[in-house]
Structure 1
């Protein structure tokens, strides 16, 4: 049978395609824009027909009908990472959570420690050889495809056909449906004077020839905006967004100094504009790979001068970062922060930056604290922390004693809180 004939045989409506799902199944969905809206809408429409079906995903971007506290006995979301649409359910207890390093999720799926019975994913149109590209999020999805009983694709002509280990052959597809809706676009975050100040401190410490991992947020984007005068930068990251594309267009990124995948940008999911998605299409300078390739600390750390930029919400005197919860209340997830902090620490000449505004709630709360709030989920440990950057400066903590760390962190706290932080440090015998 030709690949075109097989395609037509497996082509059906979204309502028919979801019939592969059985009671008790876990459906794995790619990160963010890689989620297939027609399939998840069809599942939502008939969710009460099912019992104990789970949908597992990092960062869902749309509030589908199944994300519903009244029908969790039928279809329930299990978060790998909380986003805006699942955070309320996580905080109220009707959305469950899978803690893990992003880089280890394919291994956990492969070993059966995280279930993957069915995969729903967005895909590019099929090429002449019978291959689709899961360019928007190969992440953990490629591992789930290898493990799953059934793979259902939503084929959309707006999905780029990217290079890398992100392809699936029609013979491995159980069913497919077609859509042509525009891809979801995610705009750039707001950048204010605090973000600009932090971004300048970080940008000034990034040398020509560095390889970058840049997360999502106002501060990482503020860093990107201040790198346009650099030369010979490389990209080895988990997320590719419009900021990185802008650096490429400015001639700043050529990947010529990378030790691993020289000449190529690597990422595991995309989040941005339609211009970004067009930029990804058959771009020979970009490869999309599973997260156990992009985020593995050993592999990423083989690049010299790996500079990684990630944000936190709170940091204590020892350097522990609470980046994914507000006290015991879940907010996001570990994501790739721990992976890339460890990768940069391994890298010859590498720097791991943890960035945060010094205060929250209109300067009424210090984000630098003597001890993390009770129940806070620690994302980056005291043994991994290196550079911490606020709008008031840079504290380099790796290799420093507890007393030295405390002094350095108080030095980059908001001036209004330095006095009380010093008093607390004296009571803790750190000063």
Structure 2
């Protein structure tokens, strides 16, 4: 059983916080005063809005225990960004007690959203921390996973000043623990202790449980990048100057871009998601941060998704600064980086430059995330490069991703006014400052040759050419 803690102070130079295995079921306590060291709190019965840590910081033992209290917590809403691992609250029979709202739809929740068992809340990632803390839609329970200075199965120790670290996931978890009236944490020795705005005082946490399992990994795509991705990577890299600051996401195309940037010099990093591909550039000496105009020599991120090697590189690394997404994704903050290159993927683009990134075949697929945040930030940056990158075709070459018009049910993630560059394996099209006629011609020029004539016919019928 997990021991409910009595936290008597902030400084713990030699004190160990007693921990245990997962409580089953989760302890039920009426919530006392916030931050009361003499009376720690857990989750009281009744409906709540419960935030889970993102990515590798999802607390699996607390989620498991949460499922055991379904009847007591009936009507509760479980909210989170992309998480790694199961999402039992979105499945039968747990969804009879819990309703999941996805801030970003991942593979583990996509079937539930499609079936109507769960909801999607579209919002820019820069604004999500404010939502999490708002009086109207804020969270009152936060379940997080943290890293301590030292941890074993009997005890966990915060640092000398009484803090634990949010580690690999600061994004919305930072706002969550500050807003919630009940904060429960899994302490995991595998969670990296990261620098930046990541630290949580132990007296803000009402209950600790111990987890000694490895963090879940998001493995990079198997094998070398395919030829289409490599070609896209080369075209993107040709746009990026030495000394630029990068933002990239996850997947084949960002990995191919990272591969194509290996000969660049003194790149910087200010991104939403930290991945293995970008860290490889750091280790190769390509990303140094030496030319950054903001937070020089610091790699800045909100969330890490990758391998055990990535998490090990992050641990106590003073060159890495992790922050909530209200900071990393704020367009005004992003714009403080000169030569900001924001490289984002898309599912389709129409001939006027509208971008669909969160819907596929008329169904909700992912989320807005930070795409618009970073494209707008890069647009304001001196010498900035807002880039949308995608293969020219889908379904094994059967359909074009450059479309006459977005299909029925497709959502516009990025409006045409925010799109500057679009890159496929056939080249790069600059849309900024271009008329619809010029845009259509440029986008047809980077479409797959098999679809160009059909696109021209549509453009002529609309009198765009």
- The TM-score range, normalised by the shorter chain, is over 0.9
Secondary structure of 2:200's counterpart equals: strand
Q: State TM-score, norm by structure 2.
A: 0.90
* Aligned counterpart, 1:151: 183
Contact 2:331 2:374 in 1 (8 A): yes
- Deviation string 1:220-244 (CA, Å, 9 cap, x unpaired) is 1100011111111100001111111
What is the total number of aligned residue pairs between the two structures?
431
Gaps of 5+ in 1: none
Paired residue for 2:98? 75
Q: Deviations along 1:312-344, whole A, 9 cap, x unmatched?
A: 001111111010002431000001111101011
| Alignment-derived partner of residue 425 in structure 2 | 391
Decide whether the 8 Å contact of 1:103 with 1:292 is kept in 2: yes
Q: Is 2:397 the partner of 1:358?
A: no
Deviation at 1:6, TM superposition (A): 8.5
Q: Deviations over 1:144-169 (max 9, x none)?
A: 11111111110000101100001100
Aligned equivalent of 1:234, options 268, 290, 295: 268
Distance 1:37 1:109 in 2: 21
Match of 1:182 in 2: 214
The answer for the alignment partner of 2:339 in structure 1 is: 305
Partner of 2:301 in structure 1? Answer: 267
Against the structure 1 CA distance between its residues 14 and 231, is the aligned structure 2 distance closer, same or farther, given a 3 Å change threshold? farther
Moved more, 12-21 or 376-385: 12-21
TM-score, scaled to structure 1: 0.96
Aligned to 1:34: 57
CA distance in 2, matches of 1:425, 1:200: 29
CA–CA separation in structure 1 for the residues paired with 2:253 and 2:212: 34
RMSD: 1.6
2:256 match? 222
- Summarize the alignment of residues 87-166 of structure 1 with structure 2, pairs less than 5 Å apart: 87-125=110-148, 126-166=158-198
Instruction: Please tell me whether the aligned partners of residues 88 and 94 of structure 2 are also in contact (alpha carbons under 8 angstroms).
Output: no
Alignment of 1:9-88 (within 5 A): 13-15=22-24, 17=26, 19=28, 20-21=42-43, 22-88=45-111
**Inter-CA distance 165–16: structure 2 relative to 1 (3 Å threshold):** farther
The aligned counterpart of 1:381 is 415
Deviation of 1:115 after TM superposition, in Å, equals 2.4
Which whole-Å deviations, capped at 9, do the CAs of 1:45-90 have from their partners, x for residues lacking one? 3424431111111112212332214332312221001010100111
1:69, 1:395 → 2: CA distance? Answer: 47
**CA shift at 1:106, angstroms?**
1.1
Q: Is the 8 A contact 1:199 1:223 kept in 2?
A: yes
